[in-house]
Chain A
């Protein structure tokens, strides 16, 4: 049952997403005049847990390290993984995700809360306050990051990072043989989602809808009268045909547009210049086209000389992708052939 291999690296991505929030915090120190900045330090940040040998060979390559540690430092680590019943969704509900031309079937993700500790160690109280003040205002108490959790389906989710608590340790009391330690621990919860395996779906993208309309009062004996077919209609140029270019700049009111040769166009063509679609109504001469501007609700703008003119054709329609802005081609066919359409065999019989 269990055992289908998959690994979306969701927890790792959540760790990275959490960590990156804190990787650009600086502290500054002033000189004796209290105004001139004499030092500006970006607080080093690292994921706390580390292989011991790696820490030793990297951080203590020189065995006789002259100092104990350099401060300030921040580290963060994952401390818990817990199911979040409050965000529970239906177990068997699925949604479809598209990857170009294929559909993938995805079960709704399972909500999990991942606990994080952000530890801040400073040498000076003032450093700690500088760091804390740069973090806390963003959490009220949550701050959302948008993470691409599952790359294969492009699933981006908002993950609220909730600031749960702030602990502060300042061991300034006691004998003089123990050093004062200033330590802040900020506890966070990242409300992430874990995805199960993602299955290929046998279903494809709907790129054509065809309806046969019957008239009559008998389901058996009625014959079809009309076929209505809808397909996507491109609103941008996909195949970069670069049919021609503008030989002069055109204004927003100009409907006669200068082209290299009008022979490259046919009346009824849809053409696109920058992002404005135009409809070719006439070809008055060899170097001009009479067009309808702002066709299909595109905005009418000025276009510079040498702007590319592309035709929007059936070839472009075939290249329309999910999530694109597209329109619809409609066709009506009147039928009187008494046949029926077989969706499985895709023929009339």
Chain B
């Protein structure tokens, strides 16, 4: 035996005493920090990196601040990429306390998310409450001090400020989570507090175009042709019928699908002609006519009354799809027929036109039918979105996390929008539901740009470039 057997090099009792003294000292002179373990969400093989991480647990632990007279590191510096804060701290935590109060919990977690639980891990976060800052552990020193009484009692954590990208921080400690409220890529949803149902009134007249017969749907109509209907005879109150063509494309053939009236006309006594006028691109010898071959005829009604047009009294608010229009039927009688119509909305979710597909027959001019337009998805928005909760677009299926919600102007700032090539944005008019709060409002518009980042100049550069660049050949990097 090489060592003197009459001297102990640290008994387990002495070691426990030292550990207890250290624990006590740390609890008296330390700072209470929050230890936030990193959970792996997506790992990239071959190039070996964790693409997505989540920080959604918290463990309070006392730590001694080794750099007690200030942060280490290079401080605040201006780089090519804006201001970078290179503050560093070195913290000492008790080995025993970590193992008893953090490691044991980490050990019970999903091993695909937590690969190591026996010691503090590089990559984990420490919330330092004095400066309200998030530090990332970059190195764990375990042999400093070096084997006193034959054992190691503390970990020294060398940390520097966290480089943030899109990691989820959802520790349930509001003070910690809100540190990243304004940081990261944030997009904006303008929400509508209350939707409103559109309303419209029917105009009933006689001498109208009763029915349109599409005899030939033509081909190569990649743009809808204009529909020219012969004029009504001259007379007081007589009105020309007007209609639009709706095209469709199947198997590479674009043709006219149907014709809808914006006005079925008043005062027709003879059947008017119907012509399709194709759009022409260019002029002279290079002119190209878009589409050919479509032909239609019609019948007129000179005795009975029908719905010749529908005027919109109120376009409503908050529609995401064309609402269904229902027209009440005429009084029961021989040959009467109920009118039918379709609505159209604009990108702001407002009904802009109602087109008649069938003017009907047998209506009473003094008692016009009632027009009913279906409700928008949300009539009244309710609730308050919670910070950091997940919200889901009902129609797009997109998920995002709430950064902030301003109920006064209906601004919902979101991050982590799971956009994809098939679903790149939230639809105007769809409802957004908070998973925890249950809040539900309709989207008025969605701004996919980050208008809060103080570094980013993407918008400014684009606006200036629009004034001087000729992008008639289109921006190869997309329209911005």
How many positions in chain B have a CB within 8 Å of any CB in the partner chain?
Answer: 85
Cβ B283 vs Cβ A134 within 8 A = no
B231: shortest Cβ distance to chain A, in Å?
6
Q: Which of A58, A60, A134 contacts B76 (CB 8 A)?
A: A60
**Cβ contacts under 8 Å, A179 to chain B:** 138, 160, 163
Q: Which of A36, A38, A46, A303 contacts B456 (CB 8 A)?
A: A46
Cβ A304 vs Cβ B139 within 8 A = no
Tell me, in angstroms, the Cα distance from A173 to B437 when the chains sit together.
47
The residues in B between 281 and 304 inclusive whose CB is less than 8 angstroms from any CB of A are 283-285, 287, 289
Cβ B165 vs Cβ A37 within 8 A = no
**Cβ contacts under 8 Å, A2 to chain B:** none
Known contacts A48-B80, A138-B476; A297 and B277 CB within 8 A of each other: no
Cβ B164 vs Cβ A299 within 8 A = no
**Cβ contacts under 8 Å, A31 to chain B:** 41-42, 52, 418
State whether the Cβ of B158 lies closer than 8 Å to any Cβ in chain A: yes
Cβ A302 vs Cβ B277 within 8 A = yes
Cβ B42 vs Cβ A60 within 8 A = no
**Cβ contacts under 8 Å, B134 to chain A:** 66-67
Cβ A119 vs Cβ B416 within 8 A = no
Query: A98-128: contact bitstring with B at CB < 8 Å (1 yes, 0 no)?
Result: 0000000000000000000001010111110
**Cβ contacts under 8 Å, A40 to chain B:** 185, 417-420
State whether the Cβ of A196 lies closer than 8 Å to any Cβ in chain B: no
The residues in A between 23 and 69 inclusive whose CB is less than 8 angstroms from any CB of B are 23-25, 28-32, 34, 36-42, 44-48, 50, 52, 55-56, 58-61, 64-69
**Cβ contacts under 8 Å, A71 to chain B:** 163-165
State whether the Cβ of A72 lies closer than 8 Å to any Cβ in chain B: yes
Interface Cβ pair total, 8 Å cutoff: 257
Cβ A29 vs Cβ B162 within 8 A = no
**Cβ contacts under 8 Å, B461 to chain A:** 16, 19-20, 23, 45, 47
Tell me, in angstroms, the Cα distance from A273 to B472 when the chains sit together.
28
State whether the Cβ of A339 lies closer than 8 Å to any Cβ in chain B: no
Known contacts A29-B42, A37-B419, A69-B82; A24 and B478 CB within 8 A of each other: yes
9 extra interface residue pairs, beta carbon distance < 8 Å, beyond A56-B78, A69-B83: A29-B166, A31-B52, A58-B454, A123-B163, A151-B468, A177-B158, A179-B138, A299-B285, A302-B228
Tell me, in angstroms, the Cα distance from A31 to B94 when the chains sit together.
35
Taking CB as reference atom, which chain B residue is nearest A144? B473
Cβ A22 vs Cβ B420 within 8 A = no
**Cβ contacts under 8 Å, A24 to chain B:** 458, 462, 475, 477-478, 480
Cβ A37 vs Cβ B418 within 8 A = yes
Stretch at the interface among A84-92, A213-221, A244-252, A312-320: A244-252
A86: shortest Cβ distance to chain B, in Å?
25
State whether the Cβ of B85 lies closer than 8 Å to any Cβ in chain A: yes
Cβ A68 vs Cβ B450 within 8 A = no
Known contacts A55-B78, A147-B470, A305-B240; A19 and B277 CB within 8 A of each other: no
Tell me, in angstroms, the Cα distance from A123 to B185 when the chains sit together.
15
Cβ A301 vs Cβ B231 within 8 A = no
State whether the Cβ of B132 lies closer than 8 Å to any Cβ in chain A: yes
Residues of A within 8 A of B (CB): 13, 16-17, 19-25, 28-32, 34, 36-42, 44-48, 50, 52, 55-56, 58-61, 64-73, 75, 77, 119, 121, 123-127, 134, 138, 143, 145-148, 151, 156, 175-177, 179, 247-249, 251, 275, 297-299, 301-305
Stretch at the interface among B43-51, B192-200, B210-218, B345-353: B43-51
Cβ A251 vs Cβ B287 within 8 A = no
Known contacts A16-B461, A21-B477, A75-B81; A304 and B449 CB within 8 A of each other: no
Cβ B183 vs Cβ A46 within 8 A = no
B398: shortest Cβ distance to chain A, in Å?
9
**Cβ contacts under 8 Å, B275 to chain A:** 249, 251, 302
State whether the Cβ of B27 lies closer than 8 Å to any Cβ in chain A: no
Cβ B84 vs Cβ A38 within 8 A = no
Cβ A67 vs Cβ B162 within 8 A = yes
Between-chain CB contacts (< 8 Å), 5 pairs:
A28-B420, A45-B456, A47-B461, A71-B164, A124-B165
Taking CB as reference atom, which chain B residue is nearest A17? B469
Known contacts A30-B42, A68-B86; A44 and B462 CB within 8 A of each other: no
Cβ A67 vs Cβ B183 within 8 A = yes
Tell me, in angstroms, the Cα distance from A52 to B122 when the chains sit together.
33
A197: shortest Cβ distance to chain B, in Å?
20
Tell me, in angstroms, the Cα distance from A304 to B274 when the chains sit together.
11
Tell me, in angstroms, the Cα distance from A126 to B131 when the chains sit together.
32
Tell me, in angstroms, the Cα distance from A256 to B321 when the chains sit together.
46
B70: shortest Cβ distance to chain A, in Å?
14
Q: Which 9 A-B pairs have the closest CB atoms?
A: A44-B456, A20-B465, A68-B161, A146-B470, A66-B179, A176-B139, A249-B228, A299-B287, A41-B185
**Cβ contacts under 8 Å, B476 to chain A:** 21, 138, 143
Tell me, in angstroms, the Cα distance from A135 to B368 when the chains sit together.
62
B242: shortest Cβ distance to chain A, in Å?
10
State whether the Cβ of B381 lies closer than 8 Å to any Cβ in chain A: no
Q: Which of B52, B277, B448 contacts A39 (CB 8 A)?
A: B52
Cβ A119 vs Cβ B132 within 8 A = no
Cβ B416 vs Cβ A39 within 8 A = yes
State whether the Cβ of B184 lies closer than 8 Å to any Cβ in chain A: yes
